Amino acid sequence: MSARKPIRKAVFPVAGMGTRFLPATKAIPKEMLPIIDRPLIQYAVDEAREAGIDQLIFVTGRGKTAIVEHFDTAFELEATMTERDKSLDVLEPTRILPGNLVTVRQQVPLGLGHAIWCARAIVGDEPFAIFLPDELMIGQPGCMKQMVEAYNAVGGNLISVLEVPENEVSSYGVIDPGQRGFGPGGALTEVRGLVEKPKREDAPSNLIISGRYILQPEVMRVLEHQGKGAGGEIQLTDAMAQMIGQQPFHAVTFAGKRYDCGSKTGFVEATLAIALEREDMRDEVRAMALRLLG
């Protein structure tokens, strides 16, 4: 058995228009909306780098140049800060080595599967990670690092899952589980099938798919020939379902918290939760929250 190819590349689908956050997103990409002092995309990139991934592929659309500029060197800003004896450490997470950030355009909004397919030339014949930046995953270690550890144990394809109460399953993609509770930390579950938004009584489990994936390059060939699915879009879930049985397919139950920052209430929850964990502000924020509730 040859050594598994390491996970070096990550695809970030960031072409969406962010209509749920208008008018804030009229001129600013939703991925640049900050949770306190870091934009959403920064949290996803930090998570990727913690997992040892160094090649970042952004699938963008019109009006998304701010995302790329955020990870560029801001010469005037840095020169001014240096002159004023201000530390540049705060900018360290935004530094990406030249050549390690690539953008491709998704010219028509044909869904998540199509966005991933747009990155096929850069992914090449390597396994790769996918991050949906709207889903903010907070854990120690991060979600993708937990997944890479699992990948090193079993290879193949992996998705991140979370347990939710059974009355919530109909809002998500759900896995049909096989063997459970093995691998690193007992976090692995064999995936026998994927069901999109099942009725509560039809759901095969309460393990929902969250926005982190490690997929083999063959998924690109599947996407190439796949017709449109739900909503007239090319669905990534449909392509993954076709790979079950062809290659190993596992789910990793994420030890941590997920915040759905695609919704306004989820965005507020994430902001509050992270503020309450930060030593530099948690006491003030707790007092403020109690005052507002009172």
In this prediction the pTM is 0.93
Domain-located, residue 70:
yes
Q: Check whether residue 177 and residue 222 sit in a common domain.
A: yes
Domain-located, residue 218:
yes
Q: Check whether residue 149 and residue 289 sit in a common domain.
A: no
Instruction: Give DSSP secondary structure letters for the chain.
Output: -PPPPP--EEEEE-----GGGTTTTTTS-GGG-EETTEEHHHHHHHHHHHTT--EEEEEE-TT-HHHHHHTS--HHHHHHHHHTT--SGGGGGG---TTSEEEEE--S---HHHHHHTTHHHHTTS-EEEE-TTEEEE-SS-HHHHHHHHHHHH-SEEEEEEE--GGGGGGSEEEEEEEEEESGGG-EEEEEEEEES--GGG-S-SEEEEEEEEE-THHHHHHHTPPP-GGGS--HHHHHHHHBTTB-EEEEE-SSEEEETTSHHHHHHHHHHHHHH-TTTHHHHHHHHHHHH-
Q: What pLDDT is recorded for position 234?
A: 80
Contacts of 207 (CB under 8 A, 6+ apart): 161, 162, 163, 174, 175, 177, 189, 251, 253
Q: Check whether residue 58 and residue 152 sit in a common domain.
A: yes
Q: Check whether residue 231 and residue 89 sit in a common domain.
A: yes
Residue 279: domain span? 263-294
Q: Check whether residue 87 and residue 120 sit in a common domain.
A: yes
Q: What pLDDT is recorded for position 13?
A: 96
SS (H, E, C) 239-256: HHHHHECCECEEEEECCC
Q: Check whether residue 279 and residue 234 sit in a common domain.
A: no
Q: Check whether residue 159 and residue 271 sit in a common domain.
A: no
Domain-located, residue 163:
yes
Q: Check whether residue 68 and residue 109 sit in a common domain.
A: yes
Average of per-residue pLDDT across 36-65: 95
Q: What pLDDT is recorded for position 39?
A: 97
pLDDT above 70: percentage of residues in the chain: 99
CATH of the domain at 217: 3.90.550.10
Q: What is the pLDDT of residues 201-223, one digit of tens each?
A: 889 999 999 999 999 999 999 99
- Asked whether the beta carbons of 50 and 142 are under 8 A apart, the reply is yes
Q: What is the pLDDT of residues 94-103, one digit of tens each?
A: 999 888 999 9
Please give the single-letter amino acid code of residue 200.
Answer: R
Domain-located, residue 4:
no
Cis-peptide into 98, omega within 30 deg? no
Domain-located, residue 95:
yes
Q: What is the pLDDT of residues 139-159, one digit of tens each?
A: 999 999 999 999 999 999 999
Q: What pLDDT is recorded for position 281?
A: 95
Domain-located, residue 177:
yes
Q: Check whether residue 83 and residue 45 sit in a common domain.
A: yes
Q: Check whether residue 94 and residue 118 sit in a common domain.
A: yes
Q: Check whether residue 258 and residue 294 sit in a common domain.
A: no
Domain-located, residue 116:
yes
Domain-located, residue 16:
yes
Q: What is the pLDDT of residues 64-103, one digit of tens each?
A: 899 999 999 999 999 999 999 999 999 999 999 888 999 9
Q: Check whether residue 291 and residue 250 sit in a common domain.
A: no
**Cα distances (angstroms) measured from residue 56 to each of 39, 67, 105:** 16, 12, 14
Domain count, the chain: 2
pLDDT above 90: percentage of residues in the chain: 76
23 phi/psi in degrees, rounded to 5? -85, 0
